């Protein structure tokens, strides 16, 4: 007798797709039976539903001091939103300032997550400071805390960016420690020069954000990262890739033998730059970096997901209120805090605009939103798989649900939705985190702080 049985759903296991039952004992999947017949203390009827491994968001900001303000969510609000959207594990970016010691930053972020996270969590650690103290602490965090990925910014000149000298040395450290280097790829100097020029020409509205950092500035950043990766042998992961040109630079490097993986994020797959051109400063809601592009770029990313050139879909959840935060840039787009949150909407956006429109199949959705993330960041098969021995993080998904995305349904603290009124197909019907039902049908019932740190 199992504690819980998920009965009669179409199960997406790593080997195959079949109708059957999943038996859960405690926090773990202990049996999977094609055709069904398992008995449990509690039975969740999944007939007619799809059964997926819990989704994993590889790119989340919650505690984020950035651009003169702080992102508006706390760990409770962001991770309740994640769970309702079927995401049971997040990878949050630890983004310290240039004077902060990495060890203090790790302790600060982990402390906040322990208090508030309702889903499981782990971290990418941004390397902004890189002196002898920082280098020593980075090594210790890898050895003692299970940190397995660092993050660098080639953008955000003077705030978060890294010099080429430090980039080269850091890649050597990553290679030696077996750590993946994730990277925001845009050329900081070119953006800075273009922004100055546009502002001097009184081009100060949110619609000028995209022209200030065009596609070639992003593609050049990817090429730069890959050049260094080729020289050092480090494994690199390009976050929030917005356009075909950037994907191509990464794939060219891959052909030369560079170990590079490409991430897309939900806003770039479904929103285009016309949103940032909306009147009355509404466009500020759609300012993120890299920026929203022409609609044609959506297909470049979906094709990349379908053919494997793009391996993962995250969110880059970075919520800043329209009133009181985005409006810091009312007179100058450079001051608009960057971010379009989507931690709750990600999976349903991929289902609606990817699967239902025939751009990717369901197996690819599972791979890019869960399994590939777990594999890339050393959590597989504990996470990212419906398999015996894996954590019982499971989403019973209703593909027939039809509705619209609405701000009022959101559990994030953000005061708007970037997807307001857009058509929605599909919804997480029941979400389990390590065997416990934590969310479903738009509601979260999880315990605050019930998430666990995943040491990798």
Task: Return residues touching Zn ion (CB under 5 A).
Answer: 184, 316
Q: Shortest gap between Cβ of 316 and ligand URP (angstroms)?
A: 5
Nearer to Zn ion, 160 or 226 (CB): 160
Nearest position to ligand URP, beta carbon: 338
- Sign of the alpha-carbon dihedral angle for 270, 273, 278, 283: positive
Nearer to Zn ion, 48 or 68 (CB): 68
Which of 184, 224, 359, 456 binds ligand URP (CB under 6 A)? It is 184
Strand order, beta sheet including 260-265: 55-60, 87-94, 120-126, 149-153, 180-184, 236-238, 260-265, 312-314
Nearer to ligand URP, 11 or 154 (CB): 154
Q: Among 395, 400, 388, which residue's Cα sits nearest to residue 38?
A: 388
* CA-based max dimension of the chain: 72
Q: Shortest gap between Cβ of 456 and Zn ion (angstroms)?
A: 19
Nearer to ligand URP, 241 or 338 (CB): 338
Residue 424 contacts which entry, Zn ion, ligand URP, none (Cβ below 5-8 A, type-dependent): none
C-alpha distances (whole Å) from 73 to each of 142, 316, 322 are: 27, 13, 13
Residues 224-243: x where in contact with ligand URP by CB under 6 A, - otherwise, as a string: ----------------x---
Nearer to ligand URP, 126 or 444 (CB): 126
Q: Shortest gap between Cβ of 225 and Zn ion (angstroms)?
A: 13
316 sits near ligand URP (criterion: CB under 6 A): yes
3-state secondary structure of 102: helix
Q: Shortest gap between Cβ of 184 and ligand URP (angstroms)?
A: 5
Q: Shortest gap between Cβ of 395 and ligand URP (angstroms)?
A: 26
CA distance 408 to 39: 39
Query: What's the token pair of residue 345?
Result: 């909407």
Residues 240-259: x where in contact with ligand URP by CB under 6 A, - otherwise, as a string: x-------------------
Contacts of 441 (CB under 8 A, 6+ apart): 427, 428, 429
325 sits near ligand URP (criterion: CB under 6 A): no
Q: Which helix (H) or strand (E) holds 231?
A: helix 215-232
Q: Shortest gap between Cβ of 428 and Zn ion (angstroms)?
A: 24
Q: Which helix (H) or strand (E) holds 10?
A: strand 2-12
What's the full length of the chain, in residues? 456
293 sits near ligand URP (criterion: CB under 6 A): no
338 sits near ligand URP (criterion: CB under 6 A): yes
Contacts of 293 (CB under 8 A, 6+ apart): 210, 215, 242, 243, 268, 272, 273
182 sits near ligand URP (criterion: CB under 6 A): no
Nearer to ligand URP, 87 or 338 (CB): 338
Residue 338 contacts which entry, Zn ion, ligand URP, none (Cβ below 5-8 A, type-dependent): ligand URP
CA distance 441 to 348: 12
Nearer to ligand URP, 316 or 393 (CB): 316
Q: Which long-range contacts (CB under 8 A, 24 or more apart) does 137-140 make?
A: 137/101, 137/102, 137/103, 138/102, 138/173, 139/173, 139/177, 140/103
342 sits near ligand URP (criterion: CB under 6 A): no
318 sits near ligand URP (criterion: CB under 6 A): yes
Nearer to ligand URP, 91 or 396 (CB): 91
Nearer to Zn ion, 185 or 270 (CB): 185
Query: What's the token pair of residue 395?
Result: 């989403």
273 sits near ligand URP (criterion: CB under 6 A): no
> Is there a contact between 366 and 397 (Cβ–Cβ < 8 Å)?
no
Q: Shortest gap between Cβ of 168 and ligand URP (angstroms)?
A: 22
339 sits near ligand URP (criterion: CB under 6 A): yes
Q: Shortest gap between Cβ of 67 and Zn ion (angstroms)?
A: 12
Q: Among 404, 278, 271, which residue's Cα sits nearest to residue 339?
A: 271
244-255 and 296-307 helices cross at what angle (nearest 10)?
A: 30
61 sits near ligand URP (criterion: CB under 6 A): yes
> Is there a contact between 239 and 183 (Cβ–Cβ < 8 Å)?
yes
> Is there a contact between 232 and 168 (Cβ–Cβ < 8 Å)?
yes
288 sits near ligand URP (criterion: CB under 6 A): yes
Q: Which residues bind ligand URP (CB under 6 A)?
A: 61, 184, 240, 288-289, 316, 318, 338-339
């Amino acid at each position: 007798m199992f504690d819980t049985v998920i009965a009669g759903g179409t199960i997406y296991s790593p080997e195959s797709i079949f109708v059957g039952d999943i038996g859960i004992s405690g926090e773990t999947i202990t049996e999977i039976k094609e055709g069904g017949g398992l008995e449990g203390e509690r039975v969740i009827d999944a007939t007619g539903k799809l059964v997926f491994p819990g989704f994993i968001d590889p790119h989340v900001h919650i505690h984020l001091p950035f651009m003169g303000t702080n992102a508006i969510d706390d760990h409770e609000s962001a991770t309740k939103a994640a769970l309702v959207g079927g995401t049971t594990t997040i990878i949050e970016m630890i983004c310290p300032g240039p004077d902060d010691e990495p060890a203090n930053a790790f302790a600060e972020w982990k402390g906040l997550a322990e208090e508030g996270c309702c889903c499981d969590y782990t971290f990418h650690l941004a390397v902004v400071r890189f002196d002898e103290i920082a280098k020593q602490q980075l090594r210790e965090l890898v050895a003692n805390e299970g940190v397995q990925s660092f993050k660098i910014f080639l953008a955000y000149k003077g705030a978060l960016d890294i010099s080429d000298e430090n980039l080269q040395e850091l890649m050597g450290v990553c290679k030696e420690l077996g750590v993946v280097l994730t990277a925001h790829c845009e050329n900081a100097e070119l953006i800075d020069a273009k922004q100055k020029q546009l502002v001097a020409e009184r081009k100060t509205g949110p619609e000028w954000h995209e022209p200030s950092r065009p596609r070639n500035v992003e593609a050049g950043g990817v090429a730069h990262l890959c050049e260094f990766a080729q020289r050092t042998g480090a494994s690199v992961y390009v976050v929030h890739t917005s356009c075909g040109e950037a994907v191509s630079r990464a794939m060219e490097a891959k052909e030369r033998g560079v170990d590079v993986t490409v991430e897309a994020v939900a806003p770039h797959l479904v929103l285009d730059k016309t949103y940032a051109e909306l009147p009355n400063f509404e466009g500020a809601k759609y300012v993120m970096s890299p920026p929203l592009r022409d609609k044609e770029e959506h297909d470049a990313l979906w094709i990349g997901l379908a053919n494997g050139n793009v391996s993962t879909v995250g969110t880059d959840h970075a919520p800043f209120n329209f009133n009181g935060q985005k409006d810091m840039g009312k007179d100058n787009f450079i001051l608009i805090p960057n971010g379009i949150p989507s931690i709750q909407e990600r999976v349903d956006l991929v289902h609606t605009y990817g699967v239902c429109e025939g751009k990717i199949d369901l197996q690819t959705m599972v791979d890019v939103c869960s399994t590939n993330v777990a594999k890339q960041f050393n959590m597989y098969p504990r996470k990212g798989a419906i398999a015996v021995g894996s954590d019982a993080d499971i989403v019973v998904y209703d593909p027939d649900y039809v509705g619209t995305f609405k701000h009022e349904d959101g559990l994030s603290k953000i005061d708007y939705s970037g997807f307001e009124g857009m058509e929605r197909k599909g919804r997480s019907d029941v979400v389990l985190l390590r065997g416990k039902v934590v969310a479903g049908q738009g509601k979260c019932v999880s315990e605050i702080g019930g998430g666990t740190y995943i040491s990798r």
